[in-house]
Structure 1
């Protein structure tokens, strides 16, 4: 990492201190003299102090890469989060800290999908609402995207719900929308939504965040953290159904954030 603060070493301080000493034969500046050995030895502590100060400025002040002050950062931001039941690497803890500091919250599918991706899970979301006479139609109610942002289905009144794919993105040009989940059940069906977990979180050992003797080569996440976090952030009047029927190990080279 570039040193933006021009950290001085103990030898730099020794050279500066030697220039402050009196002049004369009793004050030799030779490298092998006893005087310079004493000056150089006593000056090393100042190099250590300045190196530590630079480290605080360059590394420990950045929550993305902090190590020594990570416990202090976590304490100030209410971490570790009780949702994380499994052991976390230093890298995981740094990401949890940044997420806690930057998350703004929302109620859209995009928010929940991106939040899950941040902690290493690939998900899609299915929402429900009851069939409504006069608004819906029998048969295939799916539509093709026309490239507009957002696009509205002719089964919806203009200005209502945009047609989205399972990732929460507006249906693209010539893309077929998902099957509308319109049931004939009670109107409370609109208060439920399903989170389809498609990929397990794989935590591979990393030199930057791993701890020898503590972290294994690979850890497979059980999604307990995902369920806990999404239930915390969901709209209070809704309930989440978690679907693991399409779970796959995913790309082993992708690892986890």
Structure 2
């Protein structure tokens, strides 16, 4: 039952000769009822918008609150949701493992190399890194990371497949420790493994397991 129908039931049964088929009173009740219908739908939309997945038209408001509005212009809905959820859930960290896991949540498999300056006692053949190299992180990532279209997370008109690393670079640069300099090297494919229970882990450059279960 619409609000217009509810309002019509409030009319006195005798004093007004109300006819649902026409008249000024009918038009007034219909206009008021439509306004109440819209108010109710808007209220339901706010409830649906409690999470970013609830209402696509409220995504821009989520991005504005979390400072992602400018970066979202050239991204797909799926990429925008991934960046937003990462920003909502971030709790900060300075370790390589934290940033590897951050990239993994965005759909990128990476590993991070750190450097040590050459010094007395260093092995023959070791690169002659200076003292400033202790502040460098090399982000090793695949040259191409594919982001497929996903029902429920992509919008009509978006490509069925997208590739690129802009989302990865933007997220890492925004959260990288202030004393670090990031280098991005796109080649190869860090070893991302998923076990039977769906837990994921990576092998770092020393073939040690980084467990994120």
TM class by shorter chain equals 0.5 to 0.7
SS at structure 2 position matched to 1:242: strand
* Matching of residue 62 in structure 1 with residue 51 in structure 2: yes
Q: Deviations over 1:194-213 (max 9, x none)?
A: 32214743222334343434
How many residue pairs are counted as aligned between the two chains? Answer: 186
Aligned runs of 1:101-180 on 2, under 5 Å? 101-129=88-116
Tell which has more relative contact order, 1 or 2 (C-alpha 8 A, sep 6+). Answer: 1
Task: State the shift of 1:62 in Å.
Answer: 2.6
* Matching of residue 217 in structure 1 with residue 160 in structure 2: yes
* Matching of residue 229 in structure 1 with residue 154 in structure 2: no
Residue in 1 that maps onto 2:208: none
Mapped to 2, the partners of 1:90 and 1:97 lie a distance apart of 10
Residue in 2 that maps onto 1:206: 150
Unaligned segments of structure 1, at least 5 residues:
1-10, 139-181, 251-257
The two structures have a TM-score, normalised by structure 1, of: 0.56
Contact 2:96 2:112 in 1 (8 A): yes
Contact 1:193 1:239 in 2 (8 A): yes
Mapped to 2, the partners of 1:79 and 1:92 lie a distance apart of 12
Contact 2:115 2:129 in 1 (8 A): no
Mapped to 2, the partners of 1:54 and 1:16 lie a distance apart of 19
Unaligned segments of structure 2, at least 5 residues:
193-213
SS at structure 1 position matched to 2:138: strand
Q: Alpha carbons of 1:80 and 1:238: their partners in 2 closer, same or farther (altered >3 Å)?
A: same
Residue in 2 that maps onto 1:46: 36
Q: Deviations over 1:134-178 (max 9, x none)?
A: 9x9x9xxxxxxxxxxxxxxxxxxxxxxxxxxxxxxxxxxxxxxxx
Q: Which has the larger radius of gyration?
A: 1
SS at structure 2 position matched to 1:34: coil
Residue in 2 that maps onto 1:16: 6
The two structures have a TM-score, normalised by structure 2, of: 0.65
Task: State the shift of 1:108 in Å.
Answer: 0.7
* Matching of residue 90 in structure 1 with residue 80 in structure 2: no
Residue in 2 that maps onto 1:34: 21
Contact 1:131 1:184 in 2 (8 A): yes
Contact 1:21 1:27 in 2 (8 A): no
Task: State the shift of 1:232 in Å.
Answer: 3.9
Q: Deviations over 1:80-120 (max 9, x none)?
A: 354x7x82122322332232333232111121112111222
* Larger helix fraction of residues: 2
